[in-house]
Amino acid sequence: MKKKLVYNNAFINYPTGTHSSLHYDIKEWHPGWSSLIPPGKSRKYYVFWLFHFLHIFRNSNYSAILLYDEGKLIASLLVVPAYFKWPFMKKDDLQFTYVMTSPEFRGKGIGELLLRTAVDRFRMVNRFLWYVTDTGNPASIRLCTKVGFELFGYAKPIGLFKTLRVTAS
């Protein structure tokens, strides 16, 4: 099993709104009774809908940032609140995860635009934003460090629920 890298936003200091969405349409998705999973995601994400409505998540910010080009979904990321799997996160913290970009749009700054948009939307005083990736995913590592996330530590999944135990970097 690959080791996980855990990053946080302690040192992100660019001014908000300094990136351009060019001609892309950015939308924010929120769960609802008729909207169980984010557009483009598989059925396995029903569990996050349940966590949201059963208040297993420690705050109510579960959502997705979606990027469209001429009506076609080209990139997305999930915003997932703290819960039992990530004990290193505090109540108001959020993790950006499942960052996906369509293959034909990779290498064009789309992931950076998406992640910066999420940071702008969700950063606030006394809240850490987290980004967890595998050591074997250099594109994801480049993305989060380019946006300003700093390595916090290394994580190893343990137990039945694969709770992440973090050790300092």
What local confidence, expressed as pLDDT, does residue 114 receive? 94
Average pLDDT over every residue of 7-24: 63
Q: What is the pLDDT at residue 57?
A: 97
- Residue 149: burial class (beta carbons within 10 Å; 0-12, 13-18, 19+): buried
Q: Which domains does the chain have, with CATH numbers?
A: 4-168 (3.40.630.30)
pLDDT tens track for 36-69: 999 999 998 999 999 999 999 999 999 999 999 9
